[in-house]
Amino acid sequence: MGYYMRFISTDTRPITPADLSSALVAADPGYDIEVDDTAATINHSGVTIAHVEINVPGDGLFDEERDELVEFAIERE
C-alpha cells in the first residue's frame, strides 16, 4: 500500500530534486536518488521507497492542490 503525502514549504528558496538527493545521501549513504528535472525516485538499499515531485507556485498543479487543501481546512472548521 502506498501513501500520497504533500509537504508545503514557506521558504522562499527553491527546492530541487538535487537538493533533496544531497540531504538524503548526507543523512544515510544507503540512499540512491534518481533525479529528473522536477522529480526524483528515492531508493534505499536497492529498494524503491518513494517517488517525489516538486511543484512550485504558478505551475498549475501546485495552485490546484493548495486550493484543495484550503477548501479542506475550511470544511473542517
Residue 25, CB-side half-sphere exposure with 13 Å CA sphere: 10
Report the domain count for the chain. Answer: 1
- 3-state DSSP assignment of residue 40: strand
Handedness of CA 1, 41, 16, 23 (dihedral sign): positive
17-53 pLDDT per residue, tens:
888 889 999 999 999 999 888 888 999 999 999 999 9
Predicted pLDDT at 1: 63
Give a yes or no: residue 27 inside a domain.
yes
pTM (predicted TM-score): 0.72
- For residues 11 and 70, give the distance between their C-alpha atoms in angstroms, rounded to a whole number: 19
Give a yes or no: residue 3 inside a domain.
no
pLDDT at 2 over 80: no
What value, to the nearest 5°, has the Cα angle with vertex 43 and ends 37 and 47? 145
Give a yes or no: residue 5 inside a domain.
no
Q: Which domain holds residue 53?
A: 17-75
- 3-state DSSP assignment of residue 69: helix
Give a yes or no: residue 1 inside a domain.
no
